[in-house]
Chain A
Amino acid sequence: MATNVKAQPAAEPARGWYGTVILAWLVPGAGHFLLKRPWRGALILASVALMFLLGLMMRGAMFQPQTGDVLTTIIYCGGFLGDLASGLLYLLTVWLGYAQPDMAGHVHDYGTKFLVAAGLLNVLAMVDAYEIATKQKD
């Protein structure tokens, strides 16, 4: 006996998000540009890049991964990952020889935090780009 049940179209598999996320990491906002959200991409690019540049202008220090007690490991490895999350901004800065030692003073301290925060904001933008690419979000 024939049945009239129509096959339901399978949910579209999430594919192609790797490239978007990697691009979003390398160039802040580029994932949104790729996904045809240019204004949002431009705002992310401007915010992350300006925050990173202000951190450099305040002579903030870049974290190097260090291990030891738990707090040292969390601060230095976490800080390093935060710096690294800025993508090409971080890679170019290190490649061009920026090596500011950690110095006392509130401006340098803010600079260090600006450098890490720029990377963390880029992580948020990468997650947003991932969610758009996998259609979990409009």
Chain B
Amino acid sequence: MNLSHFEAAILFALFASVVLGVITKRNDAERLRYGVRCFAYFVAALIGLGWLMKLGHG
């Protein structure tokens, strides 16, 4: 299996967000919102850090 950095990190974010959403909060609507928010934060951090490294390397 040959995935790019981005694909592997997106898969990691997806599975981690699902579990974080499932084990927290009190009801299903809150869990769904939390899971989606975690995924969005993962992706934002991924893109932000990716740009930071690109700019840092020149």
Contact = CB atoms under 8 A, between A and B. Distances in A.
Contacts of B16: 47, 117, 121
Interface size class of chain A, counting residues whose CB lies under 8 Å from the partner chain = 20 to 34
Contacts of A57: 1
Q: Is the interface of B mostly helix, strand, loop or mixed?
A: helix
Interface size class of chain B, counting residues whose CB lies under 8 Å from the partner chain = 10 to 19
B38 interface: no
Q: Is the interface of A mostly helix, strand, loop or mixed?
A: helix
Given A54-B1, A106-B5, A110-B3, A124 B12 contact: no
Interface of A: 40, 43-44, 46-48, 50-51, 54, 57-59, 106-107, 110, 113-114, 117-118, 121, 124-125, 127-128, 138
Interface of B: 1-3, 5, 8-9, 11-12, 15-16, 18-20, 22-23, 26
Given A106-B5, A124-B23, 10 more contacts: A43-B22, A47-B18, A48-B15, A57-B1, A58-B8, A113-B12, A121-B16, A125-B19, A125-B22, A128-B23
